[in-house]
Structure 1
Amino acid sequence: MELFQLRYFLTVAKYENFSKAAEELLISQPSISKAIKMLETELGVSVFERKGKRVTLNNAGKALRERLNGIMSTLDNLQNELSVAAGAKQSTIIFNVLTASSLLPDILLKFKKEYPLINFHLIQKSVATKFDLCITSTLPDTLLNNGILVLGEDIKLAVPLTSHFSLYDSVDLRDLRQENFMLLNKGYTLRTITSHFFDLCGYSPNIAFESDNPHVIRDLVEAGLGISLWPELSWGKIRHHRAKLLHIKNPTCRRNIFVTWPDKKKISPEAQIFLNFIKFYFQRLHSD
């Protein structure tokens, strides 16, 4: 079967009328009728119920339309995607970064080496609606319909080696009521997630310092000025000669990282390429 036959079929199915389909396709009605007849011969089944000038899809036709909708959409975007992949088309992705910002320089550097003509407009707005992709985090039992899970990670406790807690490998969050915490500023998704863990333990933490920069928090922990909740993978490695990461045995402290897109918005070829890259990036991060 030929690609044009499938396009003709979808157009006839759209209007349930050969004449209207022929008008849209700018071909004669006999030509489109002949193409559909050839398609049915090759498939070995009829796809339409014919009632004079009006046609309706039968069960086989409905099944064929269902299969073709996704395939034809992919084929329609193929040339554009290949142009992007080959570096022949310059474009810009609006990327809303709500989590894992410490990994962003490495992600963009490696991506730009492969796709130098794809640029980025970076934003950090939890209420933003105009973006192509967004990276965010949730509690483990939260599912997002318009997104894919790229990483599930433990959240551990970062303590300086000068702390008596560094003598242990695990800790109960309920035992840390008197400790000084270094946390992200309010408004960050990780701050909301960690606040849930403290709520489960029945207390609000003593906050010695707040920042929007994980590297600052790491430096303060290593300097012995407090402790912090530390996403094990997305915040990068801690310097073990200065600090230590402890497993939190109660409550279970984990989060999921998702890449999402606006509801009912079609993902552009450029964004799809970047989405696939992010998936592979986090797969490697987890395996390393």
Structure 2
Amino acid sequence: MELLQLKYFKKIAEAQSMTRVAEEIHISQSALSKTIRTLETELGVKLFDREGKYIKLNENGKIFLKYVNRNLQSLEDAKKELSDYNSNRNQDIIIYVQAAMFMLPKIITGFNQKYPNIKFHISQKQFNKGENNYDFIIYIPSTEEINNKNSLTLLEEELKLAVSKNHHLSEKNSINLDSLSNEKFIGLPPYTKLRKTTDHYCNQAGFTPNVILECYDSPTILELVKNGMGIAFVPKYSWGNIEHQELSLINIHSPKCTRCINLSWRESEYISESAKLFKNYIVEFFSNLK
């Protein structure tokens, strides 16, 4: 069994297309098919079901893919550890950011002051946690998600209500959520985790929020609230210092409304030294914030 066979198998399993992979790696489709047939012969089982021009990973293939992924990842880990061991320079860190984007510059700047040789690659991948080419993801977990050995909660932050200074609720210190059933809301799109969370709390309070405008950009949401178009749920920390934006922030007394920010990392046996440093730093950053 050769490494190249395993790499080809993984690509085909993920693409579900022999033709597409052959074009991508610039070999003939017949040569690629022969490689897979040789692998199947060695294993003694078929890995794909052929359906006309198409192929589909069967149950044998799914089992084999699990072990192929594990072993290819171990080889990548070995390369990283060897690089760490034989090099004085630190490795880059790749982060996918799905939450707390406004806090990230302060985090990166503080870390860079301590470790100036470590470089970052940051991507804002809002709705796809299935990526595997990363060191860390900063994300909002679903309400039913339980942390495992590859994730932790950085922060549980309170959700507040933002209203304009001229709004009839602006002088209140706290409210019950069920008193807002007739209000007009401005919010994130319904597929975002924060919107799902706030909709959940509103449903608990017995109503569906009347969202008159949906916008993905949080500064725009805050500006519209300031101009009196509606009210909005805002997280206490991760949207920046909202109290200086001519808004009134009101505590939600009942039900208690919070959301979590989590950190996850690849299921890997090896974490680079630079990644370990960043993990310790960001945990300490949010601990001090709390």
| TM-score bracket relative to the smaller structure | 0.5 to 0.7
1:156: Cα distance to partner?
0.8
Unaligned runs of 5+ residues in structure 1 are 1-76
Which of the numbers 217, 230, 235 marks the counterpart of 1:231? Answer: 235
Which of the numbers 123, 128, 131 marks the counterpart of 1:128? Answer: 131
Instruction: State the partner residue of 1:243.
Output: 247
1:164: Cα distance to partner?
0.8
Instruction: State the partner residue of 2:100.
Output: 100
1:169: Cα distance to partner?
0.8
Q: More deviation in 194-203 or 146-155?
A: 194-203
1:215: Cα distance to partner?
1.9
Instruction: State the partner residue of 2:140.
Output: 137
Once the two structures are superposed, the pairs formed by residues 31-46 of structure 1 within 5 Å of their partners are none
In the alignment, structure 1 residue 112 sits paired with structure 2 residue 112: yes
In the alignment, structure 1 residue 201 sits paired with structure 2 residue 205: yes
Once the two structures are superposed, the pairs formed by residues 3-152 of structure 1 within 5 Å of their partners are 80=84, 88-123=88-123, 124=125, 125-138=128-141, 142-145=145-148, 146-152=150-156
1:261: Cα distance to partner?
1.1
Contact between 1:183 and 1:211, CA under 8 Å: does it hold in 2? yes
| Aligned counterparts of 2:232 and 2:272: Cα–Cα separation in 1 | 38
In the alignment, structure 1 residue 256 sits paired with structure 2 residue 238: no
Letter in 1 for 2:133: K
Q: Among the aligned pairs, what percent are the same residue?
A: 33
Unaligned runs of 5+ residues in structure 2 are 1-80
1:265: Cα distance to partner?
5.1
1:106: Cα distance to partner?
1.9
1:95: Cα distance to partner?
0.7
- Sort the Cα spacing of 1:82 and 1:232 in 2 relative to 1 into closer, same or farther, 3 A: farther
Letter in 2 for 1:136: Y
Give the match's secondary structure for 1:150. Answer: strand
| TM-superposition CA deviations, 1:14-50 (whole Å, max 9, x none) | xxxxxxxxxxxxxxxxxxxxxxxxxxxxxxxxxxxxx
1:90: Cα distance to partner?
4.3
Give the match's secondary structure for 2:238. Answer: coil
1:113: Cα distance to partner?
2.5
Contact between 1:172 and 1:251, CA under 8 Å: does it hold in 2? yes
- Sort the Cα spacing of 1:241 and 1:102 in 2 relative to 1 into closer, same or farther, 3 A: closer
Give the match's secondary structure for 1:118. Answer: coil
- Sort the Cα spacing of 1:185 and 1:268 in 2 relative to 1 into closer, same or farther, 3 A: farther
| Aligned counterparts of 1:279 and 1:142: Cα–Cα separation in 2 | 19
Contact between 1:139 and 1:255, CA under 8 Å: does it hold in 2? no
1:264: Cα distance to partner?
4.4
| TM-superposition CA deviations, 1:96-131 (whole Å, max 9, x none) | 111111112222222222222222222213332332
- Sort the Cα spacing of 1:211 and 1:187 in 2 relative to 1 into closer, same or farther, 3 A: same
Give the aligned length. 207
Contact between 1:134 and 1:259, CA under 8 Å: does it hold in 2? yes
CA RMSD, Structure 1 to Structure 2 (Å): 2.7
